Chains A and B, each alone.
Chain A
């Protein structure tokens, strides 16, 4: 009976997104629009974030590719493939930022925007990592401090 009341894995995934939707809905309902702030400010942030995180995560995966390639007879081939992916990301970033003020979030030059993007993404990833560690720490602490789920009565019943 208890098994039927358990939330499914889909509910866990919805739990990841639900607070974001709730924050947007609540803020929009209580305060309305932010003066002088709209979708034109959000789009460059999403685009810059996508491009920068693609390069940073690809670079991290490139390190893993080194160990993968080591276990194969032609270790340079997959590493070469991943370097191409990182370079495509880098060129795409420079290309899109060069298209004009579209992706320049108040920064004067492409170089300044690139450096800002890297700093911005590192700080965001730090915040994400810290929140993940806090969640896992609380989870682990509650599990180690809970009473044992194995009771003596169940052993006696089995006997």
Chain B
């Protein structure tokens, strides 16, 4: 089979199945449709994760390779945060202190795992011996956006919340840690990538984030313009005639019959 057709059938088609399956699973009228949707999405995820073996020659399989590598720490961080959050003061379904400790352990193991993927031997390396180039896009983007969002989140807590100083410190701490990680990686060589190479990817990531923001804003403006133009072309709704004297007196009678009460 042609290499391009192979990549289209074994990678991009299953990849498209993931959002399609999730969209289809939101059909609330039928439980079967909802389950079929989840099955389609799961089928897509399995094929995408298997792409380094099914289409090893295609450059697209590097995305599947990366997703397989980051799945472990990402799931640990997400489950960890869920357990920590729901072991606090929540009105229903509060988890125990053991769950909180387990969640903390999962969260920190996930973060350390991500760190070691940069500093140690467990960096995502392709079968050709090169570092997965999508990993070099993912890590700087994650660190830069985490630094920015957690700093903005901490400031938002101070700005919009009442007496949230102590809580905002955790977000400022996250921002400082991810910023320090980024600066260290830009100045100290790791096992698999030198500092100069990582600096290039950080600069490209900044360019990437700027581009994503501009492109997304343009798409939203386009979307808003289509709605605006469409709404303006709609005919004005017909106004009904004012109520007659007879109708007004009937309404007054209904109101009189329904208000008041015994004193």
Point out residues on A near B: beta carbons under 8 Å: 6-9, 11-13, 15-20, 22-24, 26-27, 30-31, 34-35, 37, 41-42, 45-54, 57-58, 61, 63-65, 68, 72, 77-78, 81-82, 85, 89, 111-112, 115-116, 119-128, 130-146, 148-149
Are A7 and B158 interface neighbours, CB within 8 A?
Answer: yes
Q: List 8 A-B contacts (CB under 8 A).
A: A34-B200, A50-B218, A53-B219, A78-B230, A112-B59, A130-B77, A137-B77, A138-B174
* Chain B interface extent, by class: 35 or more
Are B230 and A148 interface neighbours, CB within 8 A?
Answer: no
Residue numbers in A under 8 Å from B152 (CB-CB): 12-13, 15-16
**Chain A: minimal CB distance from B185 (Å):** 11
- Nearest to B77 among chain A residues (CB) is A134
List 4 tightest A-B contacts by C-beta distance, closest first: A49-B211, A144-B88, A53-B215, A137-B81
* A124 to B142 alpha-carbon distance, docked (Å): 8
Are B219 and A8 interface neighbours, CB within 8 A?
Answer: no
- Nearest to B212 among chain A residues (CB) is A53
Check B155 for interface membership: any CB of A closer than 8 A: yes
* A31-B187, A53-B219, A138-B150 as given contacts; A82 in contact with B226, CB under 8 Å: yes
Check B25 for interface membership: any CB of A closer than 8 A: no
Q: Among A48, A121, A142, which residue has its beta carbon within 8 angstroms of that of B167? A: A142
Point out residues on B near A: beta carbons under 8 Å: 4, 7, 23, 59-60, 62-63, 66, 74, 77-78, 81-82, 84-90, 134, 137-139, 141-142, 144-159, 162-164, 166-168, 170-171, 174-175, 179, 182-183, 186-187, 196, 199-200, 202-212, 214-216, 218-220, 222-223, 226-227, 229-230, 233-234
Are A20 and B144 interface neighbours, CB within 8 A?
Answer: yes
Are A50 and B215 interface neighbours, CB within 8 A?
Answer: yes
Are B229 and A81 interface neighbours, CB within 8 A?
Answer: yes
**Chain B: minimal CB distance from A62 (Å):** 8
Residue numbers in B under 8 Å from A34 (CB-CB): 196, 199-200, 203
Residue numbers in A under 8 Å from B134 (CB-CB): 119-120, 123
Q: Among A27, A128, A134, which residue has its beta carbon within 8 angstroms of that of B141? A: A128
Q: Among B144, B158, B208, B223, which residue has its beta carbon within 8 angstroms of that of A65? A: B223
* A134 to B166 alpha-carbon distance, docked (Å): 18
* A68 to B226 alpha-carbon distance, docked (Å): 11
Are B155 and A49 interface neighbours, CB within 8 A?
Answer: no
Are B203 and A42 interface neighbours, CB within 8 A?
Answer: yes
Are B207 and A45 interface neighbours, CB within 8 A?
Answer: yes
- Nearest to A80 among chain B residues (CB) is B226
**Chain B: minimal CB distance from A93 (Å):** 11
B85, B196, B202, B229 — most chain A CB neighbours (10 Å): B85
**Chain B: minimal CB distance from A89 (Å):** 8
Are B62 and A139 interface neighbours, CB within 8 A?
Answer: no
- Nearest to B176 among chain A residues (CB) is A19
Residue numbers in A under 8 Å from B7 (CB-CB): 115
- Nearest to B226 among chain A residues (CB) is A81
- Nearest to A37 among chain B residues (CB) is B200
- Nearest to B233 among chain A residues (CB) is A77
Q: Among A19, A51, A57, A124, which residue has its beta carbon within 8 angstroms of that of B137? A: A124
* A11 to B157 alpha-carbon distance, docked (Å): 12
Are B141 and A133 interface neighbours, CB within 8 A?
Answer: no
